[in-house]
Amino acid sequence: MKTLLLARHLVTPTEVTEEAALLIEDGIISAVGVRTELHTANAQVVDFGDSILAPGLIDIHVHGGAGHDVMDGSDQSLAAIERLMMLHGVTSYCPTTVTAPVEDTLRSLDALGQAVKRAFSQNDGTRAQPLGVHLEGPFLSHAKRGVHPPALLQPASRDLFDRMWSAADGRVSVLTIAPEINGAIDLISEAARRAVCVSLGHSDADASQALAAIRAGARHATHTFNAMRALDHRDPGILGPVLTDQGLTADIIVDGVHVDPEVVDLFVRAKGVEGAVLITDAISATGMPDGTYLLGGIEVQVHHGRCEAKGRLAGSVLTLDRAIRNITKFARVSLQDAIRMATINPARVLGIEKRKGTLSVGADADITVFTPRGEVVRAIVGGVVN
C-alpha cells in the first residue's frame, strides 16, 4: 500500500522542504520532495495542512510512564508506556533499567529483550517501538549514585555484563557506567566491541579517568550535569571532557528542574546542535497526577513536576515534545535544531541513523507531525497512518 503525506514544511531534520510531500510504501519512505512534483495515482493521500513533517522522535532514556515501569516487562505495562509516548511524538525508545537485585534485573532484561524482538515483526501503529535496552546501573559510582540503592551497586564485571547481555538476548543498546570504578575500563572496551554505546554517567571521575574511558571506547554521556562531579575551574572532572570532546555526544534533561536554563544554553554552545541529545529520564509518574510511584523498586514522590526519593531527584515526568519546546526557549535554538536533538542525533548514538531519525529514501517511515509551535499533531510508526 502507498501513502502520500502532504504538509507545509518537512525537516529531514538537517534540511527543510517547503510545500512538502513524502511517499510511503510498505512501511519505508520511498520518495521525498515537493508536492507539485511528487504524485502517485494509487496512493492514499493525507494532507496535514500547515503542519511540519519530521522524523519520529527517539528517546534513549525512558524508565516508564502512564503509571507503569519498564522493568515490569509485561506487554500490558509496555503497551501503556508506548501509547503514552506516541501521544508525545516518540516513535522509538530505549527501555531503561535502574539498579535492582541482580535476579530481578535479569528477569526484566529477558522480558525487555523479547519485547524488542517482537517490535520488529509486530506494529499496529499505536505504540512506540523499543530499540534496545539501556542499562543504567549497576556499574555506577557510590558517590554519584543518585537514588540507585547503594547496597545493589556492583563493580564493573564482564561476567555480570555477560549475564545481562544473555538475558536480553544481546539486545542491549546503551550502557551507562562510571569510568572510575573497579574494572570499568575493561568492561567499556568489551561493551564497545559489541557495538553497545558506552555512556559515562553517575560518576565522580576526574578528567584523566574520563579521558581513559573515552580512549577505551566510551562515546556518550548520560544526563549531563546530573549525578556527575561538579565542574571546577581548577578541577574540571568528568564534565571537562564531556563538554569539550567533540567526538563525545551527550544527553540532557531539559525540564527546568534538573538543569538551570542558563546551563542548558551553555551545554548547547559547548556540544553544538550536532552533539546534543534530548532525553526525558521519564518514570512511571509521567502522564499521571501527583502522588507516589515506583522507579524500579524505588518509591518516588511526585509533586508539581518534581520527582524525589528521600530528597533526591529521581527521574522526571518530562515528555520529549516538551523538551523540544523547552530547549528552543532555554538555548534559543530553532525548532528544526531542537528536533534534530531528538531524532538524528540519538539515532547516531545508537548507530541506526540510516533507518531511524531521518526522513530520507530507504528509512523507516517513522514520522512525527508538528504544528509550527512544536506541538504534536500525529505520530506514525512504520508507515501505519491511523
**Catalytic residue annotation:** 281
Secondary structure (H, E, C), 155-169:
CCCHHHHHHHHHHCC
92 by Cβ neighbours in 10 Å (0-12 / 13-18 / 19+) ranks as: buried
Scan for cell 555477560, then name that residue: 162
Assign 3-state DSSP to the chain and report helix, strand, coil percentages, each to 5.
30, 30, 40
Which residues sit opposite 237 in a β-bridge? Answer: none
Contact 139, 180 (CB under 8 A): no
CB atoms closer than 10 angstroms to residue 156: 24
Pairing type for strands 64-65 and 68-69 reads: antiparallel
Sign, Cα dihedral of 241, 95, 102, 157:
negative
Contact 202, 225 (CB under 8 A): no
Joined together, the cell numbers standing for residue 93 give 525508545
Scan for cell 541506526, then name that residue: 352
**Three-state DSSP class for residue 285:** coil
Give the DSSP letter string of 31-56.
EEEETTT---TTSEEEE-TT-EEEEP
**Three-state DSSP class for residue 2:** strand
The counts of H helices and E strands in the chain are 10, 22
Give the DSSP letter string of 232-247.
-SS--TTHHHHHH-TT
